[in-house]
Chain A
Amino acid sequence: MPRDSTAGHPENELSELLNIGFPANPDAIGTVADAIDQALIELHVPEQKRLEIGLAVQEALVNAVVHGCDSDSSKEVRCRLQSDRNGRIVITVTDPGPGFSTDLLSDPKRQEDLYADHGRGVYLIRQLMDEVSFVRPGNEIKMWKY
Protein backbone atom coordinates (compact mmCIF):
# COMPACT_ATOMS: atom_id res chain seq x y z
CA MET A 1 0.00 0.00 0.00
CA PRO A 2 1.47 3.36 -0.93
CA ARG A 3 1.95 5.95 1.73
CA ASP A 4 1.18 9.63 1.61
CA SER A 5 4.07 11.55 2.98
CA THR A 6 5.55 14.96 3.06
CA ALA A 7 8.73 13.46 4.51
CA GLY A 8 11.63 14.88 2.60
CA HIS A 9 13.56 13.12 -0.08
CA PRO A 10 16.95 14.60 -0.87
CA GLU A 11 15.69 16.57 -3.85
CA ASN A 12 19.12 17.97 -4.58
CA GLU A 13 20.12 14.45 -5.62
CA LEU A 14 17.41 14.27 -8.26
CA SER A 15 18.22 14.58 -11.94
CA GLU A 16 15.68 16.53 -13.94
CA LEU A 17 14.67 14.72 -17.12
CA LEU A 18 11.71 16.82 -18.23
CA ASN A 19 10.20 20.11 -17.13
CA ILE A 20 7.17 20.99 -19.23
CA GLY A 21 4.86 23.96 -18.81
CA PHE A 22 1.72 23.86 -20.92
CA PRO A 23 -1.58 25.74 -21.24
CA ALA A 24 -4.42 24.17 -19.26
CA ASN A 25 -6.16 22.81 -22.33
CA PRO A 26 -7.45 19.23 -22.09
CA ASP A 27 -6.20 18.63 -25.64
CA ALA A 28 -2.61 19.15 -24.43
CA ILE A 29 -2.74 16.36 -21.84
CA GLY A 30 -2.07 13.56 -24.31
CA THR A 31 1.02 15.28 -25.69
CA VAL A 32 2.54 15.75 -22.24
CA ALA A 33 1.67 12.17 -21.20
CA ASP A 34 3.32 10.91 -24.41
CA ALA A 35 6.48 12.92 -23.66
CA ILE A 36 6.67 11.38 -20.18
CA ASP A 37 6.18 7.91 -21.62
CA GLN A 38 8.91 8.45 -24.22
CA ALA A 39 11.32 9.54 -21.49
CA LEU A 40 10.47 6.41 -19.48
CA ILE A 41 11.12 4.26 -22.56
CA GLU A 42 14.53 5.90 -22.92
CA LEU A 43 15.19 5.09 -19.25
CA HIS A 44 14.34 1.42 -20.02
CA VAL A 45 11.51 1.40 -17.48
CA PRO A 46 9.63 -1.94 -17.81
CA GLU A 47 6.27 -1.84 -19.60
CA GLN A 48 4.08 -2.63 -16.58
CA LYS A 49 5.71 0.12 -14.57
CA ARG A 50 5.38 2.52 -17.51
CA LEU A 51 1.66 1.77 -17.74
CA GLU A 52 1.19 2.40 -14.02
CA ILE A 53 3.15 5.65 -14.11
CA GLY A 54 1.41 6.69 -17.33
CA LEU A 55 -2.07 6.27 -15.90
CA ALA A 56 -1.13 8.07 -12.67
CA VAL A 57 0.34 10.96 -14.69
CA GLN A 58 -2.79 11.10 -16.87
CA GLU A 59 -4.99 11.33 -13.77
CA ALA A 60 -2.82 14.03 -12.19
CA LEU A 61 -2.74 16.08 -15.39
CA VAL A 62 -6.53 15.86 -15.79
CA ASN A 63 -7.02 16.97 -12.18
CA ALA A 64 -4.65 19.91 -12.68
CA VAL A 65 -6.21 21.04 -15.97
CA VAL A 66 -9.88 20.43 -15.19
CA HIS A 67 -10.08 21.07 -11.45
CA GLY A 68 -7.02 23.26 -10.85
CA CYS A 69 -7.48 25.49 -13.89
CA ASP A 70 -11.13 24.99 -14.92
CA SER A 71 -9.72 24.08 -18.36
CA ASP A 72 -8.75 27.74 -18.80
CA SER A 73 -5.93 27.68 -21.35
CA SER A 74 -4.68 31.09 -20.20
CA LYS A 75 -3.43 29.25 -17.08
CA GLU A 76 -0.37 27.04 -17.02
CA VAL A 77 0.18 23.55 -15.64
CA ARG A 78 3.72 22.34 -15.00
CA CYS A 79 4.88 18.73 -15.10
CA ARG A 80 8.37 17.63 -14.04
CA LEU A 81 9.97 14.23 -14.40
CA GLN A 82 12.99 13.46 -12.22
CA SER A 83 14.93 10.40 -11.18
CA ASP A 84 17.38 9.68 -8.42
CA ARG A 85 20.63 7.72 -8.45
CA ASN A 86 18.73 4.52 -7.54
CA GLY A 87 16.51 4.79 -10.61
CA ARG A 88 13.46 5.89 -8.66
CA ILE A 89 11.10 8.08 -10.65
CA VAL A 90 9.35 11.16 -9.30
CA ILE A 91 6.76 13.14 -11.19
CA THR A 92 5.46 16.48 -9.97
CA VAL A 93 2.37 18.18 -11.38
CA THR A 94 1.61 21.75 -10.31
CA ASP A 95 -1.34 23.98 -11.14
CA PRO A 96 -2.12 27.58 -10.12
CA GLY A 97 -5.43 26.67 -8.50
CA PRO A 98 -6.41 26.98 -4.84
CA GLY A 99 -5.71 23.30 -4.18
CA PHE A 100 -7.95 20.90 -2.30
CA SER A 101 -8.01 18.79 0.83
CA THR A 102 -7.46 15.08 0.34
CA ASP A 103 -9.51 14.59 3.52
CA LEU A 104 -12.59 15.31 1.41
CA LEU A 105 -11.99 12.34 -0.87
CA SER A 106 -14.15 9.31 -0.26
CA ASP A 107 -13.38 5.67 -0.98
CA PRO A 108 -14.70 4.95 -4.50
CA LYS A 109 -15.01 1.24 -3.64
CA ARG A 110 -17.87 1.90 -1.23
CA GLN A 111 -20.95 0.04 -2.46
CA GLU A 112 -22.97 3.25 -2.82
CA ASP A 113 -20.25 4.82 -5.00
CA LEU A 114 -19.55 1.95 -7.39
CA TYR A 115 -21.70 3.44 -10.14
CA ALA A 116 -20.51 7.03 -9.61
CA ASP A 117 -19.11 8.67 -12.74
CA HIS A 118 -16.31 10.51 -10.89
CA GLY A 119 -14.12 10.37 -7.78
CA ARG A 120 -11.58 7.70 -8.71
CA GLY A 121 -8.61 9.71 -9.98
CA VAL A 122 -6.64 10.36 -6.78
CA TYR A 123 -7.52 6.90 -5.47
CA LEU A 124 -6.02 5.37 -8.62
CA ILE A 125 -2.88 7.49 -8.31
CA ARG A 126 -2.39 6.29 -4.74
CA GLN A 127 -2.84 2.67 -5.79
CA LEU A 128 -0.55 2.86 -8.81
CA MET A 129 2.36 4.79 -7.31
CA ASP A 130 4.60 3.87 -4.38
CA GLU A 131 4.48 7.20 -2.59
CA VAL A 132 2.23 10.20 -3.09
CA SER A 133 2.34 13.58 -1.42
CA PHE A 134 0.28 16.72 -1.83
CA VAL A 135 2.07 19.98 -1.19
CA ARG A 136 -0.06 22.52 0.65
CA PRO A 137 -2.51 23.92 -0.23
CA GLY A 138 -2.99 20.90 -2.47
CA ASN A 139 -2.20 22.35 -5.89
CA GLU A 140 0.94 20.24 -6.32
CA ILE A 141 1.17 16.48 -6.34
CA LYS A 142 4.43 14.57 -6.12
CA MET A 143 4.33 10.91 -7.13
CA TRP A 144 7.15 8.40 -6.60
CA LYS A 145 7.66 5.08 -8.34
CA TYR A 146 10.44 2.88 -7.02
Chain B
Amino acid sequence: MGPAVDGLRQVFEESLGGGDICFVLNLAEVPMIDSTGIGLLVRFLASTKKRSGNIKLVQPSKFAVQTLRLVGVLNLFEIFENDDAAVESFA
Protein backbone atom coordinates (compact mmCIF):
# COMPACT_ATOMS: atom_id res chain seq x y z
CA MET B 1 0.00 0.00 0.00
CA GLY B 2 1.14 3.55 -0.55
CA PRO B 3 2.79 5.62 -3.27
CA ALA B 4 4.91 2.73 -4.59
CA VAL B 5 1.90 0.53 -5.27
CA ASP B 6 -0.16 3.47 -6.57
CA GLY B 7 2.64 4.39 -8.97
CA LEU B 8 3.03 0.84 -10.22
CA ARG B 9 -0.72 0.50 -10.69
CA GLN B 10 -0.75 3.65 -12.78
CA VAL B 11 2.14 2.44 -14.94
CA PHE B 12 0.47 -0.93 -15.51
CA GLU B 13 -2.88 0.62 -16.37
CA GLU B 14 -1.42 3.15 -18.77
CA SER B 15 0.84 0.59 -20.44
CA LEU B 16 -1.89 -2.02 -20.79
CA GLY B 17 -4.21 0.68 -22.09
CA GLY B 18 -1.56 1.57 -24.65
CA GLY B 19 -1.35 -2.02 -25.84
CA ASP B 20 1.75 -3.26 -23.99
CA ILE B 21 1.47 -6.84 -22.78
CA CYS B 22 5.05 -7.85 -21.92
CA PHE B 23 6.54 -6.44 -18.74
CA VAL B 24 9.86 -6.78 -16.91
CA LEU B 25 9.63 -5.67 -13.30
CA ASN B 26 12.96 -5.11 -11.54
CA LEU B 27 12.46 -5.57 -7.79
CA ALA B 28 16.09 -5.16 -6.73
CA GLU B 29 15.27 -2.06 -4.66
CA VAL B 30 12.11 -3.52 -3.11
CA PRO B 31 12.82 -5.07 0.31
CA MET B 32 9.28 -6.33 0.89
CA ILE B 33 5.97 -6.78 -0.92
CA ASP B 34 2.74 -6.51 1.06
CA SER B 35 -0.61 -8.08 0.26
CA THR B 36 -1.71 -4.99 -1.66
CA GLY B 37 1.36 -5.23 -3.87
CA ILE B 38 0.85 -8.94 -4.37
CA GLY B 39 -2.78 -8.36 -5.31
CA LEU B 40 -1.71 -5.79 -7.87
CA LEU B 41 0.93 -8.10 -9.37
CA VAL B 42 -1.36 -11.11 -9.78
CA ARG B 43 -4.23 -9.03 -11.10
CA PHE B 44 -2.09 -7.51 -13.83
CA LEU B 45 -0.39 -10.83 -14.48
CA ALA B 46 -3.83 -12.24 -15.24
CA SER B 47 -4.58 -9.26 -17.49
CA THR B 48 -1.37 -9.68 -19.48
CA LYS B 49 -1.76 -13.46 -19.79
CA LYS B 50 -5.27 -12.97 -21.19
CA ARG B 51 -3.60 -10.97 -23.97
CA SER B 52 -0.85 -13.61 -24.42
CA GLY B 53 1.64 -11.45 -22.51
CA ASN B 54 3.43 -11.85 -19.19
CA ILE B 55 5.15 -10.12 -16.28
CA LYS B 56 8.71 -11.30 -15.53
CA LEU B 57 10.32 -10.48 -12.18
CA VAL B 58 13.99 -9.53 -11.83
CA GLN B 59 16.05 -9.82 -8.64
CA PRO B 60 13.29 -10.03 -6.05
CA SER B 61 14.70 -10.00 -2.52
CA LYS B 62 14.89 -13.21 -0.53
CA PHE B 63 12.08 -11.93 1.68
CA ALA B 64 9.92 -10.96 -1.31
CA VAL B 65 10.34 -14.48 -2.70
CA GLN B 66 9.49 -15.92 0.72
CA THR B 67 6.35 -13.79 0.87
CA LEU B 68 5.20 -14.74 -2.63
CA ARG B 69 5.76 -18.40 -1.73
CA LEU B 70 3.82 -18.05 1.54
CA VAL B 71 0.68 -16.95 -0.29
CA GLY B 72 1.11 -19.52 -3.03
CA VAL B 73 1.74 -17.25 -6.02
CA LEU B 74 5.50 -17.62 -6.48
CA ASN B 75 5.06 -20.26 -9.17
CA LEU B 76 2.87 -17.92 -11.22
CA PHE B 77 5.94 -15.81 -12.03
CA GLU B 78 9.17 -16.38 -13.90
CA ILE B 79 12.16 -14.91 -12.07
CA PHE B 80 15.42 -13.71 -13.63
CA GLU B 81 18.81 -12.55 -12.41
CA ASN B 82 18.95 -9.50 -14.67
CA ASP B 83 16.85 -7.35 -16.98
CA ASP B 84 18.48 -8.61 -20.19
CA ALA B 85 17.69 -12.24 -19.44
CA ALA B 86 14.11 -11.31 -18.64
CA VAL B 87 13.71 -9.33 -21.87
CA GLU B 88 15.30 -12.11 -23.95
CA SER B 89 12.84 -14.60 -22.49
CA PHE B 90 10.07 -12.86 -24.41
CA ALA B 91 11.79 -13.49 -27.75
Contact = CB atoms under 8 A, between A and B. Distances in A.
B32 A124 contact: no
Given A51-B63, A59-B34, A120-B35, A108 B2 contact: no
Measured as residues with beta carbon below 8 angstroms from the partner, the interface class of chain A is 20 to 34
Interface in A113-138: 114-121, 123-124, 127-128
A48 B34 CA distance: 15
Contacts of A23: none
A24 interface: no
Interface string B1-24: 110000000000000000000000
Interface in B52-76: 63, 67, 70-73, 76
B79 interface: no
A124 B76 contact: no
A97 interface: no
Contacts of B63: 48, 51, 55
Contacts, number: 61
Nearest to B63: A51
A89 interface: no
Interface residues of chain B: helix, strand, loop or mixed (majority):
helix
Interface of B: 1-2, 31-32, 34-36, 38-40, 42-43, 45-46, 63, 67, 70-73, 76
8 residue pairs, one from A and one from B, having the closest CB atoms: A109-B72, A117-B39, A120-B35, A117-B43, A121-B35, A115-B46, A51-B63, A127-B70
Interface of A: 26-27, 29-30, 48, 51, 54-55, 58-59, 62, 66, 108-109, 114-121, 123-124, 127-128
23 contacts: A29-B1, A51-B63, A54-B32, A55-B32, A59-B34, A62-B34, A62-B36, A108-B72, A109-B71, A114-B42, A114-B72, A115-B42, A115-B43, A115-B46, A116-B42, A117-B42, A118-B39, A120-B35, A120-B38, A120-B39, A121-B34, A124-B71, A128-B70
